[in-house]
Amino acid sequence: MKRIAVVLGLVFAGMSVTTSCDEPTKVQMGERTTLKVNAVYDAKKIAVGEVIHAKFTVENTGDVPLVLSDVKGSCSCTVADFPTDPIAPGKTGIIKATVDTKAAPVGHLEKSVRIMANTSPELTVVTVQATIIR
């Protein structure tokens, strides 16, 4: 059983991912890159019950394709959508986050979005903030 696990581990370690766009993008397992993203989206004043539509521009500032493996909001009222294809070096992608404020208390609101990627460190956290009014 251990031999099978070792063989499978070696096979997966040598894999590459290819996407089908204009030209193929290959990502070697374990390759790291860097990203640049605006850390805070400020929706300013929002009435209770409105939905915040935040956009975060993610730029690949490294030399290998950027792969966003998972993007999640900090709670059930925050939902994120992100590009699933690798982002080429020097290119950008958009992460969209929606925050439903129907259960939010009046005052300062701050929700985080966690971005997991092939970067070092693997986790980047961005924030959606607003002032909730009646």
Instruction: Supply the pLDDT for residue 16.
Output: 40
| Residues 6+ positions from 4 with CB-CB distance below 8 Å | none
Mean pLDDT over the full length of the chain: 84
Percent of the chain with pLDDT over 90: 75
Higher per-residue pLDDT: 22 or 45: 45
Instruction: Supply the pLDDT for residue 57.
Output: 98
Whether the CB-CB separation of 54 and 96 falls below 8 Å is answered with yes
Which helix (H) or strand (E) is 45 found in, with range? strand 40-47
Coil, helix or strand at residue 46:
strand
In 46-132, which residue ranges form alpha helices assigned H by DSSP? none
The tens digit of pLDDT for each residue in 13-42 reads: 433 444 434 444 555 667 899 999 999 999
CATH number, domain 30-133, options 3.30.70.3270, 2.60.40.10, 1.10.3720.10, 2.40.50.100: 2.60.40.10
pTM of the model: 0.76
Instruction: Supply the pLDDT for residue 30.
Output: 78
Q: Where are the domains of the chain?
A: 30-133
Above 60 in pLDDT, residue 11?
A: no
Which helix (H) or strand (E) is 132 found in, with range? strand 123-133
Above 90 in pLDDT, residue 79?
A: yes
